[in-house]
């Protein structure tokens, strides 16, 4: 990386607020690319050429100014970036008076170049990760061997181990990703990346996780899976958990939704054939029956617990269940009927 006119002018603009002497910045060819004196732009600077040849500071006084072209008394210092000459900084004035400011300017420019390089590297690396993630999560066209090879040799990560994926649905994926990179750092994540404009995907090593809810963010956790195929499976599990039971501000785990996931994958034609009549009958029921049915299932078909949960007498509960059975033809106290009723409740969100 070397000094360019655009970068140099921005550096001059900022430094001139604090350094009250003329400043010139020259590229590795000795041409002035930025200056507090616009009339000197694009001229070759003899002092800078001497610095470029020797890669050492060049001090110009009234006594030796005639030895160089287009110079004034002052100090010219080399600017290095990763061991290579990136340019020259020159400050005009008595050398003893401007040397400290010249050193500070030299350091500021070198730090700026280092930071720009780090930012470019980080940007390039994130682009590589984003491209890899897009291919990893592609619905059908997946080359697991190529993805694994690229992970090891390009991204330089160990992919062949168990991973668990967490999906965050949010309206601000980039801001959330930055926060998560800090908060999840102790878990040593494989990646934390914005994905498809509305979510953040994090892949964490298989270990006990404590994922806290985020306000207005829906969070789903997949189950651990090995290597590339495990990452894909865990991602789809986390996404499905969100679809089935996601609530803003809360965390939902795929492992706690096995029944719901199983029901979710029932063939639509079979579901329609079996449930059609029952769905209509359930919709015609008073809301109290649906509430009773839901509580009965939530409490594992336990009569006393359900009655207590609904704040009703046990006999009232028995009456409601009898009526439900009479009106729908399905008795929730019978295992096979309970399966059909539970499936309809989950699929229809009654």
Q: Specify whether the CB–CB gap between 307 and 316 falls below 8 A.
A: yes
Strands 218-221 and 251-253: parallel
| pLDDT digits 0-9 by tens, 208-224 | 878 888 889 999 999 99
Q: For 50, which DSSP code?
A: H
**CA dist., res. 153 & res. 149, Å (int):** 6
Is 266-348 the same fold as 5-112?
Answer: no
The region of weakest confidence among 81-85, 250-254, 295-299 is: 81-85
Domain boundaries of the chain, sorted by first residue: 5-112, 160-263, 266-348
Q: For 212, which DSSP code?
A: P
Inter-axis angle of helices 95-136 and 227-245, nearest 10? 80
| pLDDT digits 0-9 by tens, 159-206 | 999 999 999 999 999 999 999 999 999 999 999 999 988 999 999 999
Task: Classify 291 as helix, strand or coil.
Answer: helix
Q: Is the pLDDT of residue 241 over 80?
A: yes
Radius of gyration of the CA atoms of the chain, in A: 34
Q: Specify whether the CB–CB gap between 60 and 68 falls below 8 A.
A: yes
CATH superfamily of 266-348: PucR C-terminal helix-turn-helix domain (1.10.10.2840)
Q: Which residues, 6 or more positions from 87, have their beta carbon under 8 angstroms from its beta carbon?
A: 2, 3, 8, 25, 26, 27, 28, 33, 79, 109
* Residue 1: pLDDT band with limits 50, 70, 90: low
**CA dist., res. 193 & res. 170, Å (int):** 13
Q: For 44, which DSSP code?
A: B
CATH superfamily of 5-112: GAF domain (3.30.450.40)
Mean pLDDT of 105-131: 88
**CA dist., res. 339 & res. 341, Å (int):** 6
């Amino acid at each position: 990386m070397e000094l360019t006119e655009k970068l140099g002018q921005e550096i001059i603009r900022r430094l001139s607020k604090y350094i009250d002497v003329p400043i010139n910045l020259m590229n590795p060819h000795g041409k002035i690319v930025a200056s507090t004196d616009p009339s000197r732009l694009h001229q070759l600077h003899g002092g800078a050429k001497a610095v470029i040849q020797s890669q050492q500071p060049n001090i110009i006084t009234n006594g030796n100014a005639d030895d160089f072209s287009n110079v004034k008394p002052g100090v010219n210092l080399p600017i290095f970036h990763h061991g290579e000459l990136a340019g020259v900084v020159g400050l005009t004035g008595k050398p003893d008076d401007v040397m400290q400011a010249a050193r500070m300017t030299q350091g500021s420019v070198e730090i700026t170049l280092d930071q720009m390089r780090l930012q470019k590297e980080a940007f390039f690396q994130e682009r590589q990760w984003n491209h890899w993630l897009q291919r990893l999560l592609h619905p059908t066209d997946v080359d697991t061997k190529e993805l694994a090879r690229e992970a090891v040799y390009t991204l330089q990560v160990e992919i062949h181990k168990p991973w668990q994926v967490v999906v965050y649905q949010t309206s601000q994926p980039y801001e959330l990703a930055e926060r998560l990179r800090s908060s999840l750092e102790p878990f040593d994540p494989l990646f934390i990346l914005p994905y498809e404009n509305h979510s953040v995907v994090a892949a964490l090593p298989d270990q006990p996780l404590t994922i806290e809810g985020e306000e207005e963010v829906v969070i789903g956790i997949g189950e651990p899976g090995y290597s590339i195929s495990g990452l894909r499976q865990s991602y789809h599990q986390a996404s499905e958990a969100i679809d089935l039971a996601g609530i803003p501000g809360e965390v939902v785990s795929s492992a706690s939704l096995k029944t719901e996931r199983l029901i979710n994958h029932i063939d639509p034609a079979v579901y329609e054939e079996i449930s059609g009549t029952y769905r209509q009958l359930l919709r015609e029921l008073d809301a109290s029956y649906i509430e009773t049915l839901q509580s009965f299932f939530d409490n594992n078909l336990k009569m006393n617990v359900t009655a207590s949960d609904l704040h009703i007498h046990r006999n009232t509960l028995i009456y409601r269940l009898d009526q439900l059975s009479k009106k729908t033809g399905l008795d929730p106290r019978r295992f096979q009927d309970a399966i059909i009723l539970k499936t309809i409740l989950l699929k229809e969100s009654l």
